[in-house]
Each structure stands twice: as C-alpha cells, then as structure tokens.
A and B are shown apart, each in its own frame.
Chain A
Amino acid sequence: MPHWLSSVLGELRRDRLATAAVTIVMTYLLAALLAPWIAPGDPNSQDVVGRLQGPFWDQGGALAHPLGTDALGQDLLSRVIYGARASLLIGFLVVLVAGTFGTVLGVVAGYRGGRTDQIISRITDIQTAFPGLLLALTILAVIGPGETNLVIVFAINGWMVYCRTARSQTLSIREQPYIEAARAAGSRQRTIIFGHIIPNLASTLVTLATLELARIILAESVLSFLGVGVQTPSVSWGLMIADAETYMTTNPWLTFVPGAALAVLVLAMNVVASWVRTIADPVQRSRESIARA
C-alpha cells in the first residue's frame, strides 16, 4: 500500500463521521459501477399488474420488489441503483471538465496577471452574467436532451466558480514568500504552478468540487424533473421524482426513495468535503489528531 494511502486511511480511522460519510459515498459509487450485478432486476421492465406496490414491509409489498414498484410497475430499488449511475457519472464528468478548465484558467490568470488576467476575468464575468438555468434550457432545447449534452451544459455553466476561486487564491499565494523562495531556488514556472500553487489551492478546490458535485447532482435532477435532462429509458432520480409527482399524496415513497437517495448522497458529500479540507492542511491535521488523542 503506498504511503499516502495508508496515511489517508489512518486519518480516516480517527474521524468517525468522515468514515461514515466516505462509506456512504463509496457505497453509492459501487452501486453505480456494479448496477447490472447488484440490482434485483431490470429498471425498465414494466409490470402493469404489479404497479404501485409498497415496500416489502408495507401492506401489499413483497420481497421481489424490496422498495416497491412505480406507476408502471418498475422495480423502485433497481431504478434507484441505476439512477446513481446517471447522477454520479454526470456529476463527476462535469466536475472533472469544469474543474480542470476553470482551475487552469484561474491559476494562469492569477499567476500571469496583466492582460492575460483581464481577458480571462472578463470572459468569466460574461459567462457568469448568463442566467444558468435559462442558458441550460436554451442549449438543451437546441442540441436536445441527454446525458452527454447535460455534461456539456453543466460544464459551460459551471467552470467560472473554479476560475474565480483559483484566481483569487493564486493572487494571494503568488505573493507568499515561499513562492519567491522557490523562484530564487531556480524552480521553473511549471514547477511553481503545479508544485507550489496548485497544492496550496487544492484543499479549497477539492472542497469546492465536492460541493459542486452535490450541486450538479441536484441540478441534474432538476433538469431531468423538467424533462430536458436524462430521458427514459435512462434512469435518473430527478426523472423518478418527476414521474412520482402525480402520486405524491397517495404513494409518497415513490418520491421519498429517490429523494432520500439524493439527500443522503449530497449530505455525505458535504461531510467528505469538510473532512478533505481538514486533512489537506498539515497544521489542521495535527491539531485534529491531538484533539482526538
């Protein structure tokens, strides 16, 4: 086991809340990855006779459909598991694309300054001035709904926050004496950006990315709920909530199950985000471990 991994696991053991949150997020990830093997059935196989069944502990429920069925008789548990795929895949792709793009632009703007900074900052301002939801709806109306297009839309809408954060952090880190010391030691610009500036940005950016991931997952659900996001036969929690809307008063678990799946994941991610921020800073890290010892 590499050194960094064992030290991260060591940190994790000391923080029970973080352990729980990381476990939850890992469970979602595994569920998404292994959906075809662990889901009880096909998420799209319909059964009109067995529609609107309650969960197994409820009246009319059966273990064949542990969390019951929806209005088309589709297995709710299978749909929730498959729904994690769409949400997490879209979320991670968007964070990866928007995060990388925004961070690189932001660090370059902050480090280079001058005209480069002016141009990048104005582009960021212009992009931020567009109302995100309106732009998303417009683009999706033109290029059509679907997972790939969702990723494109969210990336276009989401890179500015990384750019601005990275830029402002870079501006302050750039002035730190250790950057000057690194330059005086003969480090090249690439080493300074990737070896000194980005690591010092990392805790902020990872925290931001985790929060953004949660936000994107919610936004995906919103657009899917509005009908311009993930389309049947693909499965998404937002789509499930949209389908369940009609039955909210009579069959509330149809809304509750995907809603809870969403809420638990977003909550766990927020906890993970604050834990990551803590362990990314050596001073915080030692303070935490002393406090707990």
Chain B
Amino acid sequence: MPDPTTNPGANPTANAVVNPATGRAPLLSVEGLRTEFPTRAGVFKAVNGVSFIIDRGETLGIVGESGSGKSVSALSLVRLVAPPGRVVGGRVMFEGQDLLAASDKELRRVRGGRIGFVFQDPMTSLNPLMTVGDQLEETLRLHLGLKGAAARGRAVELLKHVEIPAAESRVRAYPYEFSGGMCQRVMIAIAIACNPALLVADEPTTALDVTIQGQILALIKDLQRELSMALLLITHDLGVIAHMTQRTAVMYAGRIVETGPTSALLGRSLHAYTRSLMLCRPTASDTTSRLLTIPGQPPNLAQELHGCPFAPRCPMAEAACTERDPELLELAASHTSACIVAQRDGLSAVVDRLPAGGGSLAGSAR
C-alpha cells in the first residue's frame, strides 16, 4: 500500500495504483484522504491521511471507536461530507475515475449507481412521507430511467430479493409500518438497486437487536456473493469484523493504524491499540471479572498531534512514541502497522507487554 507521506502526490498518471497481490488496479483505491471540519476550537482533522484499497468482490472492514473517522472516511469517498466539513486532500480512484475531481453530475451517477450506501439508523434513513416503493423507485428512475409499472415491478422484485414477505403489498407501506430490521432491508434494496460494484455499509446493524443483526449481516453476505459486489463494512464490533471480512483496517484518531488480513490482524495484532481493543471484549466464559477498558480519551483532533496518537493511552508507550510521527509499515505479509514499538520489536513485543486478561490495562477497571 502506497504511503502518502513517502510519495507526496508526485505521481501524475491516473491509474498508478496497483494492488501488489493481484498486479491489477483495484476497484477502489484511496490515497492520503484528508477531511476537515472547521470549528470554533480549530480545524478538526476527522480524517488524516487515510489510504486503503478494495478489490472487486472483496470485503474490507474498517473498525474503530466512535469519532475515529470511519464514517467520515466512507462519506468522503463520494464527497458526501456535510458542510462545513470538506475533503481537503487525497485521491479516490474508483473504476478508473478520480472521484474527488469528478463533477457533481458524475458523482451523482456513482452515488447509488456504482456505490450503494447503507447507514446506521434504518428507521430514520427512509423519508417518513414516502412509501418504501416510491423511495426505491426514486433510485431506479434516477439511475436506470425506470418509470411507472416497470419501476414498480423492479421495486417489488428488489423487496423480494431482500426477503421482505408479501412484497407486492408491502411496496405500498410507509416506513413507520416497518420494523427496524425491515427498514434496513429496504435500505439495502435501495443500495443494491442498480447492481453497484461497491456496497458501503456504515454500521448497518448497530441500531438493531442481535438476532436481527445476524439476519441482516447474512443477507448482506449473500447479496455480496450473488451480485459480486465489493463491500466496505464499517463497524466498531470486532465480532462482526471477524465474521464478515477478509481484510481489516483499524482506525484511530482519523488515521489507519493497522491493516491486514482479518484473521492475522485479530489473532496476531501488530498494534498496541488493536491489541487493547481485543482485550476489552467481553467473553462468555469469564463472567466474574470486570470488563477492561482503555483508559483516557481519544485525542482532540482539532489540535496538532505529535507522535503516535495512541501514545497517551498506550500501556507500552515509550519516549520514541511521542518523539516522531509513526508511519504505516508492512511488518508481516500484507499486514501493516503504525506501532513504533511493534515496528522495532515485532509481534512478541505487543503480545508480551499486553498479555490477555490483565497487566497494565487492569488498572483502569478500578
């Protein structure tokens, strides 16, 4: 993965990014994406030099806590960040097109056409005054030019596709007549209406209860296989990540701190932050001890950060961690980390200093 700090925007050719694993241009490549929100307290750098690639049909998970910039990154891909927020740097190549340089008209064709979006709160993501059918048809009209009976027919088909029972009559229902899970199915139907190459699912199950969560994730997985879509899955749930994705990127303070194959990243984490997150997960077997937490707060992104952004909360932080800005380096096969200690001492450093079930993290549990 090219690091924007080591090749500062020098390459003028459009399709320069090549996935080293496949030797071909990926479906989506994001380089050095930066998104800022001007606030009274200063410029809030919500996304600060994020780079990743997604191949056709592949699933990439982005995991991180609230405010780490996961959602803003996803919205920035197609310049959906609400003003005053704005994308201030980077390059987003999608199907050979630079989305950050594209015209509004070109972008509208990509949004909902080539890239489908599913958001967190299904109950409010649908216009309460329009029937679900009308909302589906709006997308069909916009991108495929379908009208009238043809659009209605396709809308019913799509509702069946996302397993909504009695789709013929439900197409005339209003969102309030649907449960949260059903609304999310409608959102998914809208997102896949035009056979997109990429589905962006931003915490698609956070607002749903656990059984529905499983159903929705299974549906997304089935549809992905069936339509051979790539999937960008944003979540804070490591279980979902493990279950759904092949590769994962961990975000912290607007940066990607670790990327790698999901199993390697969760099993042999090469970053103190990822490892800490893993240790905070509740387990079914241990019901007596208190849950671990990571002490402290994420840094204020409106202030200039020096060194590793996780260093103030990191139990294994050293002087070196605050002295220089970490770079994302490949430490194992396709596994990159921005952890300065791990870069020097390797995997054992992280595992030894952050042993499961205690150590320095336990202090925070009081």
Q: List 6 A-B contacts (CB under 8 A).
A: A184-B78, A184-B80, A184-B119, A185-B139, A187-B108, A187-B112
CB distance from B95 to the nearest CB of A (A): 15
Which one of B123-131, B278-286, B331-339 contacts A?
A: B123-131
A125 on interface, CB distance cutoff 8 Å? no
Contact of B109 with A by CB under 8 A: yes
Q: Which residues of chain B in 150-182 are interfacial with respect to chain A, using CB atoms and an 8 Å cutoff?
A: 174, 176-177
Contacts A113-B83, A286-B176 known; 20 new A-B pairs at CB < 8 A:
A114-B84, A178-B127, A178-B128, A181-B119, A181-B126, A184-B112, A185-B112, A185-B191, A186-B112, A186-B113, A186-B139, A191-B138, A191-B142, A196-B127, A196-B130, A200-B127, A280-B129, A281-B129, A282-B176, A286-B177
A118–chain B nearest beta-carbon distance, Å: 13
Complex contact B176–A283 (CB within 8 A): yes
Q: Does A199 contact B (CB under 8 A)?
A: yes
Interface majority SS on A: helix, strand, loop or mixed?
helix
Query: A177 an interface residue at 8 Å Cβ cutoff?
Result: yes
Q: Is B143 an interface residue (CB 8 A)?
A: yes
- Chain A, Cβ-Cβ closest to B200: A184
**Contact among A176, A187, A199 with B142 in the assembled complex (CB-CB below 8 Å):** A187
Tell me which residues across on chain B come within 8 A of A199, comparing CB atoms: 127, 129-130
Residue of B nearest to A113 (CB): B83
Instruction: Say whether chain B's binding surface is mostly helix, strand, loop, or mixed.
Output: loop
B111–A184 contact, CB under 8 A? Answer: yes
Instruction: Give how many B residues have a beta carbon under 8 Å from the other chain's beta carbons.
Output: 32
Answer yes or no: A13 CB below 8 A from chain B CBs. Answer: no
At the interface, yes or no: A182 with Cβ under 8 Å from chain B?
yes
Q: B82 near A: Cβ within 8 Å?
A: yes
Set of chain B residues within 8 Å of A113, measured between Cβ atoms: 83
What mask results when residues 161 to 187 of chain A are scored 1 for a CB within 8 Å of chain B, else 0? 000000000000001111011111111
B174/A282 in contact, CB under 8 A: yes
Q: A178 CB to closest chain B CB, in angstroms?
A: 5
Which residues of chain B are near A191, meaning CB under 8 Å?
138, 142
Contact B121 A177 (CB under 8 A): yes
Q: Number of contacting residues on A, CB 8 A?
A: 25
CB pair B142 A177 closer than 8 Å: no
Set of chain A residues within 8 Å of B174, measured between Cβ atoms: 282-283
Q: Contact between B128 and A186 (Cβ–Cβ < 8 Å)? A: no
* Given A200-B127, A282-B129, A283-B176, A180:B142 Cβ within 8 A: no
| Given A181-B187, A200-B129, A282-B176, CB of A195 within 8 Å of CB of B138 | yes
The answer for the CA separation of A94 and B128 in the assembled complex, in Å, is 30
Encoded as 1 (CB less than 8 Å from any A CB) or 0, chain B from 72 to 96 comes to: 0000001010111000000000000
Distance from B231 Cβ to chain A, minimum over Cβ atoms (Å): 15
Task: Tell me whether A14 is interfacial, beta carbon within 8 Å.
Answer: no
Instruction: Verify if B244 is at the interface (C-beta below 8 Å from A).
Output: no
Q: Is A188 an interface residue (CB 8 A)?
A: yes
- Return the CB mask of B95-133 against A: 1 if under 8 Å, else 0: 000000000000011111100010111001111111000
In the bound complex, CA of A178 to CA of B121 (Å): 9
Query: How many angstroms from the CA of A286 to the CA of B178 in the assembled complex?
Result: 14
| CA–CA, A141 and B68, complex, Å | 64
